[in-house]
């Protein structure tokens, strides 16, 4: 590694760039609801692109004529829409069926905990204070989850309904035109470095989100399968929720295991609850010991210790959102500052 | 014998080991789904449930070829038959499910996945019925009822949808989309 430049101008400009990126990320975290819709749109675009690639390969493999390609394409879209609606509807009906039978309040949770969970625990965990604490925490979690879904859900849905179709249109129809326009505003002498930086950031973020989508899909699929085998009512939605919550480092798996555990305990199926715990443990073991070290680390080159520190700092600063976006934020900072530094050294020289 | 098997496994090429590993995973998956506590009732045949595990040999055949389909069908059905959920019906399904997996493997890449899955599952269900009749597990009387055949058709449809979803997601996970 070459020694760093001591030219004051370079460090002044880098400080300005650093502050500008920080301000941009500050806005991002301030308007997190809107940006979350953007992130979901990006994930859906990624999936749509994968589906499109698979469709193009199928079309090429079977040598379909033009009208057959159209019929096959529309049939596939219709199939996926109907499959998603049908599966979600049946899964939701199963869950609402369970919730209608029992009312979820603190008294129900105390009964469920003291009847079905406490006898299985070691003596230390059977203290009364501990029981109250656990029930209070679970009750808080359920009520906060319900209020968050009710208060933010509608707002988020409106955001998503506005932003997702717009993003799809922009990405699939106008991305080259927008990129050319933005690139035209950059001074000619910085064209190369801006292009290199934009490509690098694009590639790094694409790799990061792609690999997280794949990782969470695998964890979600494992949970769906496990919950199905366990006989959990609404296994599809609960498995998908567990996969989705896996994006939250460290706490996500626990948050994802709570709803299926509650459902199984409420319908009086302690064996199914044990299967649920086993499923989540197996899914997390595969994620921690195979997916992350061999699949994620191969694509996103971040030192494991650094990634833990970044996630902890992110959680301290911005809570759950900070934990989720700690690594992509670091990647953006790294690439921009690295490119800017190299360009500034070329401009002002080493001192 | 254990020693010979260990030597055989050790001397296998990496490809063979991967193939064997996939087969074992799919066979276990077959038996696990066969023992699942979730029940999907068949709306056309009262009291009957959909045999979701039948999709596993078809998925094996469509993704990894006829040999995997055959082995998963035969050994998966055998393992399922000796598992707690096993019954004489499962023993009678060994050969039909093997042939079903083999068919899926032969149709792989020749016709689009949903059609290949539907054909393989229809053959599997047909052979299942024939096998139950031959082994005297099923009387020929219910076969006269149209609801029985509607039920089998429904089961084939659900199986086809499941196979298509599983195959698509597997391919998506292992397809690299070039970054532009």
What are the pLDDT digits (tens) for B25-58? 999 999 998 888 777 777 787 777 888 899 999 9
Tell me: pLDDT of B175 over 70.
Answer: no
Taking CB atoms and an 8 Å cutoff, what residues of chain A touch B112?
58, 62, 72
3-class DSSP state for residue A238? helix
Which residue in A61, A217, A228 is closest to B109 by CB distance?
A61
Type and span of the H or E element at B123: helix B113-134
Task: Name the DSSP class of B49.
Answer: B
Radius of gyration in angstroms for the set of CA atoms belonging to chain A, rounded to a whole number: 24
Eight-state DSSP code of residue B178: P
Give the dihedral of Cα atoms A165, A168, A171, A172; nearest 10 deg.
Answer: -130
Q: How far apart are CA B106 and CA B98, in angstroms?
A: 12
Query: What secondary structure does DSSP assign to A123-161, as a single string?
Result: GGGG-HHHHHHHHHHHHHHHHHHHHHHHHHHHHHHHHHH
Q: Do B177 and A231 touch (CB under 8 A)?
A: no
Mean predicted confidence (pLDDT) in B72-83: 93
**pLDDT of res. B86:** 82
Question: Which residue in this structure is represented by tokens 């390609």?
Answer: A69
Task: Please give the helix or strand (H or E) that residue B27 lies within, else none.
Answer: helix B14-34
Residue B62 pLDDT level (bands cut at 50, 70, 90)? very high
What are the tokens at A219? 């964890």
Q: How many CB atoms lie within 10 A of CB B160?
A: 22
Question: Is pTM, for the whole model, over 0.95?
Answer: no
Give every CB contact of residue A13 below 8 A, 6+ residues apart in sequence.
Answer: A340, A344
Torsion sign, CA atoms A130, A136, A142, A145: negative
Is A54 an interface residue toward B (CB < 8 Å)?
Answer: yes
The pLDDT score that the predictor gives to residue B61 is: 94
Nearest 5°: CA angle at A339, between A334 and A342? Answer: 125
Chain B environment of A47 (Cβ under 8 Å): 172
Phi and psi for B131 in degrees, rounded to 5?
A: -65, -40
- Tell me which of B116 and B138 has the higher pLDDT: B116
Ordered alpha helix ranges (H), B39-112: 55-64, 66-82, 88-92, 94-107
Q: In this predicted structure, what is the pLDDT of residue B30?
A: 92
Q: Average pLDDT over chain B, rounded to whole?
A: 86
Question: Distance from first CA to last CA of chain A, Å, rounded?
Answer: 16
Identify whether the C-beta of residue A211 lies closer than 8 Å to the C-beta of residue A217: no
Give the pLDDT confidence score for residue B180 in this predicted structure.
42
Check if A217 contacts B (Cβ < 8 Å). Answer: yes
* Min Cα–Cα distance to chain B from A211, Å: 9
Size of interface A-B (CB pairs under 8 A): 58
Per DSSP, what are the bridge partners of residue B41?
B49
CA dihedral A148, A281, A91, A113 (to 10 degrees): -70
Q: How far apart are CA A260 and CA A239, in angstroms?
A: 8
Cα separations in angstroms, A130 against A118, A119, A171, B101, B174? 10, 14, 52, 53, 46
Residue range B137-162, pLDDT digits in tens = 887 777 778 888 888 898 898 899 88
Query: Which residues of chain A register pLDDT less than 50?
Result: none
Nearest to B38 among A47, A218, A235 (CB): A235
What does the pLDDT look like over A85-135, one tens digit per residue? 877 777 788 777 777 766 656 666 667 666 766 666 666 666 666 666 766
Coil, strand or helix at A1: coil
Q: Determine the pLDDT at residue B178.
A: 44
H-assigned helices in chain A: 8-30, 32-62, 66-101, 106-112, 128-169, 175-184, 191-230, 235-245, 252-266, 270-286, 297-299, 304-348
Q: B177 pLDDT exceeds 50?
A: no
Residue B179 binned pLDDT confidence (cut-offs 50, 70, 90):
very low
């Amino acid at each position: 590694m070459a020694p760093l430049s001591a030219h004051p101008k370079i460090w002044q400009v880098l400080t300005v760039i650093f502050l500008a990126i920080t301000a941009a990320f500050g806005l991002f975290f301030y308007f997190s609801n809107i940006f979350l819709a953007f992130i979901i749109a990006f994930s859906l675009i990624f999936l749509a692109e994968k589906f499109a690639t698979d469709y193009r390969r199928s079309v090429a493999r079977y040598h379909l004529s033009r009208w057959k390609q159209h019929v096959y394409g529309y049939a596939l879209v219709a199939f996926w829409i109907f499959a998603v609606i049908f599966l979600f509807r049946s899964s939701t009906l199963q869950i609402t069926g369970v919730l209608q039978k029992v009312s979820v309040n603190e008294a129900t949770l105390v009964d469920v905990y003291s009847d079905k969970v406490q006898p299985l625990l070691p003596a230390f965990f059977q203290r009364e204070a501990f029981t109250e604490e656990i029930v209070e925490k679970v009750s808080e979690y359920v009520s906060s989850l319900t209020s968050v879904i009710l208060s933010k859900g509608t707002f988020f849905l409106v955001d998503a309904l506005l932003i997702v179709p717009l993003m799809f249109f922009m990405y699939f129809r106008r991305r080259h035109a927008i990129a050319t326009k933005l690139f035209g505003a950059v001074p000619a002498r910085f064209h190369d470095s801006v292009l290199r930086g934009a490509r690098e950031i694009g590639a790094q973020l694409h790799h990061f989100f792609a690999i997280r989508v794949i990782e969470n899909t695998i964890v979600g699929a494992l949970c769906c399968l496990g919950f199905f085998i366990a006989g959990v009512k609404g296994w599809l939605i609960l498995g998908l929720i567990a996969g989705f919550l896996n994006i939250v480092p460290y706490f996500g798996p626990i948050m994802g295991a709570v709803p299926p555990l509650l459902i199984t305990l409420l319908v009086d199926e302690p064996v199914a609850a044990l299967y649920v715990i086993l499923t989540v443990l197996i899914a997390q073991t595969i994620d921690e010991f195979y997916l992350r070290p061999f699949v994620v680390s191969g694509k996103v080159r971040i030192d494991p210790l650094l990634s833990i520190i970044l996630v902890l700092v992110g959680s301290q600063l911005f809570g759950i959102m900070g934990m989720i976006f700690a690594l992509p934020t670091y990647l953006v900072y790294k690439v921009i500052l690295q490119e800017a530094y190299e360009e500034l050294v070329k401009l002002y020289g080493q001192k | 014998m254990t020693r010979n098997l260990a030597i055989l496994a050790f001397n296998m090429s990496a490809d063979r080991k991967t193939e064997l590993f996939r087969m074992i995973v799919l066979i276990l998956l077959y038996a696990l789904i066969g023992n699942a506590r979730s029940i999907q009732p068949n709306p056309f045949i009262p009291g009957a449930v959909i045999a979701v595990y039948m999709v596993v040999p078809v998925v094996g055949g469509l993704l990894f070829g006829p040999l995997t389909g055959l082995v998963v069908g035969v050994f998966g059905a055998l393992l399922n038959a000796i598992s707690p959920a096993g019954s004489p019906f499962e023993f009678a399904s060994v050969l039909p499910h093997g042939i079903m997996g083999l068919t899926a493997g032969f149709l792989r890449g020749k016709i689009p996945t949903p059609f290949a899955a539907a054909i393989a599952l229809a053959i599997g269900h047909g052979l299942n019925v024939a096998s139950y009749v031959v082994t005297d597990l099923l009387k020929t009387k219910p076969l006269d009822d149209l609801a029985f055949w509607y039920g089998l058709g429904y089961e084939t449809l659900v199986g086809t949808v499941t196979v298509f979803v599983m195959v698509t997601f597997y391919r998506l996970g292992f397809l690299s989309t070039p970054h532009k």
